């Protein structure tokens, strides 16, 4: 994809699932990737190896760097340290991908305040604070920086029993638009991808159970879940020089899930 070689990228929550695929895809495109993990550097090892394998193939060394970087995105201090570390090790930061996210299930009238706060603090406040630190760096260094937020179809589809998750992704849609508008004339682009049901560990409740998986997939117009690689391809596109006039947008990648599937057969005249 045009314009990604040599770029310095930070992907939060890059130890598994969509974040891992995004980091690997950037390395494949010739970008240096900082692979954020929360607890142990071991957690980032698989992503580092996959990224280097894609970037260098059989060569023992190539120009691409894959750097594990610690940071709990619910902690402001960790975020500041994480962005500083990436800038120090890579020399600069060009692209931030806010991917880290969690979800918890509870009836909305029973959710504990701490549980609610935990989801918002990781999914929304964390994404904002990472963006804030990246934007400071972009402005101070006159970088035409790029931010991609990993939102969800639940940015627009209400999700009962997951109110904190729904709010966090709805907020992420407005975070994307607000930052895009505020910094458009500084050459900074901000966009989101909104995955539908995707085969990753966050969906362990159904991906390994054939009946549950079939039930989920029966609701998707394309009749299958998405892959992390399909999400990563859209992130690469939005970050590339093929997308230089796109800002403030959420790209839904969902096999048609946001197309009101129940209207696929007429049920009213």
Among 198, 239, 247, 250, indicate the residue that binds ligand NAD (CB under 6 A): 198
Complete DSSP assignment for 72-93: -TT-HHHHHHHHHHHHHHHS--
Q: Give burial (CB, 10 Å; 0-12/13-18/19+) of 134.
A: buried
d(CA 30, CA 108): 44
**Catalytic residue (choose from 37, 128, 162, 165):** 165
Q: At what angle do helices 76-90 and 126-140 cross, to 10 degrees?
A: 40
Q: Judged by CB under 6 A, does residue 201 bind ligand NAD? A: yes
Among 18, 124, 234, 238, indicate the residue that binds ligand NAD (CB under 6 A): 18
Number of residues that bind ligand NAD (CB under 6 A): 26
Binding mask 135-164 for ligand NAD (x = CB under 6 A): ---------------x-x------------
Query: Cβ atoms within 10 A of the Cβ of 54, count?
Result: 17
DSSP H or E run through 195: strand 189-195
d(CA 131, CA 145): 10
Among 197, 243, 251, 257, indicate the residue that binds ligand NAD (CB under 6 A): 197
Q: Judged by CB under 6 A, does residue 19 bind ligand NAD? A: yes
Backbone phi, psi, residue 10, to 5°: -115, 125
Q: How far is the CB of 212 from ligand NAD (least distance, A)?
A: 13
Q: Judged by CB under 6 A, does residue 72 bind ligand NAD? A: yes
Residue 165 designated active-site = yes
Comparison of 68 and 195: residue with beta carbon closer to ligand NAD: 195
Q: Which residues bind ligand NAD (CB under 6 A)?
A: 12-13, 15-19, 36, 38, 72-74, 99-102, 122, 150, 152, 195, 197-198, 200-203
Catalytic residue positions?
165
């Amino acid at each position: 994809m045009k314009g990604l070689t040599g770029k310095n990228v930070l992907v939060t929550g890059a130890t598994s699932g969509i974040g891992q695929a995004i980091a690997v895809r950037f390395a494949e495109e010739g970008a240096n990737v900082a692979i954020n993990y929360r607890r142990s550097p071991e957690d980032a090892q698989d992503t580092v190896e996959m990224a280097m394998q894609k970037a260098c193939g059989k060569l023992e060394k190539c120009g691409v760097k894959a750097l594990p970087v610690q940071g709990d995105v619910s902690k402001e201090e960790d975020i500041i340290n994480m962005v500083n570390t990436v800038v120090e090790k890579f020399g600069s930061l060009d692209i931030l991908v806010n991917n880290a996210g969690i979800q918890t299930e509870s009836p909305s009238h029973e959710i504990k305040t701490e549980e609610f706060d935990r989801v918002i603090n990781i999914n929304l406040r964390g994404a904002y604070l990472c963006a804030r630190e990246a934007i400071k760096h972009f402005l101070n260094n006159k970088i035409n920086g790029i931010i991609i937020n990993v939102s969800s179809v639940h940015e627009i589809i209400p999700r009962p029993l997951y109110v904190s998750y729904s709010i966090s992704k709805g907020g992420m849609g407005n975070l994307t638009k607000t930052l895009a508008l505020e910094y458009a004339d500084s050459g900074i682009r901000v966009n989101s991808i909104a995955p539908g049901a995707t085969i990753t560990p966050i969906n362990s409740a159904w991906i390994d159970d054939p009946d549950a998986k079939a039930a989920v997939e029966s609701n998707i117009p394309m009749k299958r879940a998405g892959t992390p690689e399909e999400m990563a391809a859209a992130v690469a596109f939005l970050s590339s020089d093929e997308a230089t006039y796109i800002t403030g947008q959420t790209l839904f990648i969902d096999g048609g899930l946001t197309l009101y599937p129940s209207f696929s057969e007429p049920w009213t005249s």
